[in-house]
A and B are shown apart, each in its own frame.
Chain A
Amino acid sequence: MPYASNLQKLFDNKDFVITSEVSSPDASTHSTLIERLDHLKHSCDAINATDASGAHCHMSSMAASKIMIDQGIEPILQISCRDRNRIAIQGDVIGAHALGIRNILCLTGDGVETGDHPEAKAVFDLDSITLLQTISHIKNTGTFLSGRKLENQPDLFLGAASNPFAPPFDFRPFRLQKKIEAGCQFIQTQYCFDIPRLKSFMETARDLGLDKQCHILVGVGPLKSAATAEWITKNVPGVVIPDETIGLLRRTPKESQIQEGKKICIDIINQVRSIEGIAGVHIMAYLLDHLVPEIVSESILDKEVKSRKSGN
């Protein structure tokens, strides 16, 4: 079977996949991005290029993806529905394919109110599910939504996000089912700090057979300090950090909190690894990119990466 991307092939080989993401720099040159990528590239199978994450302006995900390709890194292009309508998005999709981008992550996007330009117009012409549907349409029919024909049929591997940790909890697996129906082939979840919640989400997902139709990557990441954890809980909608985790960090001396945060992350990875139906992890280390290689090498993921590199 021909694969749209190497990432898709890894999933099909039943490898435990590791993805990460790079925050696009506030720069009109390559250097900062390449510096951040250097930390990640040897530990991850593919890296997300974020699309104005948190509704803040940064270098575009398309440009960052192309820079990754030039560096020999496999990108996952994030497309959010907040800033572009269906005309712009469809143009971007075929443009991305022309640049060699094969993995696309379809997101609704954060509201403009959460970003640094709250006065901007929020577009939301599509949502994550109709975005998946739109790109699947292009992919499967070789035509735009309007029916106008393209010269070729782009070959793409489509992903989306899922948040098992936000209400309404019992609807979340069904929303994932809708995404799969719309063409989603892999998902990355929001940060997981709550293993029991993830387990109950996975139970329903397995009952619905979703883990067989879609590759599920669990979002994980290191917390820098107790203060960071508290700030995230208060300010980042959808990320839930249990009080016990925050308490554990608070009881740790300030200078070693970052190490404790890393340990918590590794511990979560090791627990996630044993849950049936999980295809890998997505490591989000916002501005802590340098910790990613350590997280991978100090967790049981190390074995995965080494076996893959040696071709076993």
Chain B
Amino acid sequence: MQTARLRLLEISYEISRSILHRLKPVFRQNRVTSTVFIGIETVTKKPLFNCKMCGQCILHSTGMVCPMNCPKNLRNGPCGGVRQNGNCEIQPTMKCVWVRAWDQSKKMRNHQKDIYTIQKPLDRRLTGTSAWLNDIHSSTR
């Protein structure tokens, strides 16, 4: 991914997050807001990141590469099976998600170091819910 495009994504992330947090009182967690948010996230994050709707988005700490695309769903770094050409051990024609994440996180401006943060186990109850609502209401731990 080109640096300019990556920078744009990072800025969009920062702006939208800040707006959402400010509007927290407006966006209650009810069925209508949830449906709207899930809709927006589906049409934006699916085509951009092949989002899997885990409901616990950490894109900013993985160089804007969705770690849920890793066949082992690894959220803390690459497994030991990465091929010498940088491709996945399970899907040999796919570039390893973490090879891309590492490359791109080095190009991030404000979230370069976030890749070193340990991610806790996923809360599987949040699968299919809105990551943005979960974030502003802190459903993610």
Contact = CB atoms under 8 A, between A and B. Distances in A.
A19 interface: no
Contacts of A170: 102
B80 A122 contact: no
A111 B118 contact: no
A181 B77 CA distance: 14
A118 to B, nearest CB: 10
Nearest to A175: B77
B96 interface: yes
Interface in A160-211: 161-163, 166-168, 170-171, 174-175, 177-178, 181-182, 190
Interface in B47-81: 71-81
Interface residues of B, number: 30
Interface string A103-126: 000001111011000000010111
A122 B79 CA distance: 15
Dominant secondary structure of chain B at its interface with chain A: loop
A86 interface: yes
B103 A168 contact: yes
A238 B82 contact: yes
Nearest to A174: B116
A190 B89 CA distance: 15
A82 B119 CA distance: 18
Contact of A110 (B74, B81, B98): B81
A108 B98 CA distance: 15
B84 A114 contact: no
B105 to A, nearest CB: 9
A127 B99 contact: no
Interface string A271-286: 0000000000000000
B126 to A, nearest CB: 14
B102 A168 contact: yes
- Which residue, of A166, A170, A177, has the highest number of chain B Cβ atoms within 10 A? A166
Interface of A: 82, 86, 108-111, 113-114, 122, 124-130, 133-134, 145, 161-163, 166-168, 170-171, 174-175, 177-178, 181-182, 190, 237-238, 240
Interface of B: 71-84, 86, 89-90, 96, 98-99, 102-103, 115-116, 118-122, 124
Of all A-B residue pairs in the complex, the 6 with the closest CB atoms, nearest first, are A163-B80, A237-B89, A237-B81, A129-B76, A111-B90, A175-B77
28 contacts: A108-B72, A110-B81, A111-B81, A114-B90, A125-B122, A127-B76, A128-B76, A130-B76, A130-B121, A133-B120, A134-B121, A161-B80, A163-B81, A163-B82, A166-B80, A166-B82, A167-B99, A171-B78, A171-B98, A174-B77, A175-B76, A177-B116, A178-B76, A178-B77, A178-B118, A182-B118, A238-B81, A238-B89
Given A111-B72, A171-B102, A238-B82, 19 more contacts: A127-B74, A127-B75, A128-B76, A129-B76, A130-B121, A161-B80, A163-B81, A166-B80, A166-B82, A166-B84, A168-B82, A168-B86, A168-B96, A168-B98, A171-B98, A175-B76, A175-B78, A178-B76, A190-B80
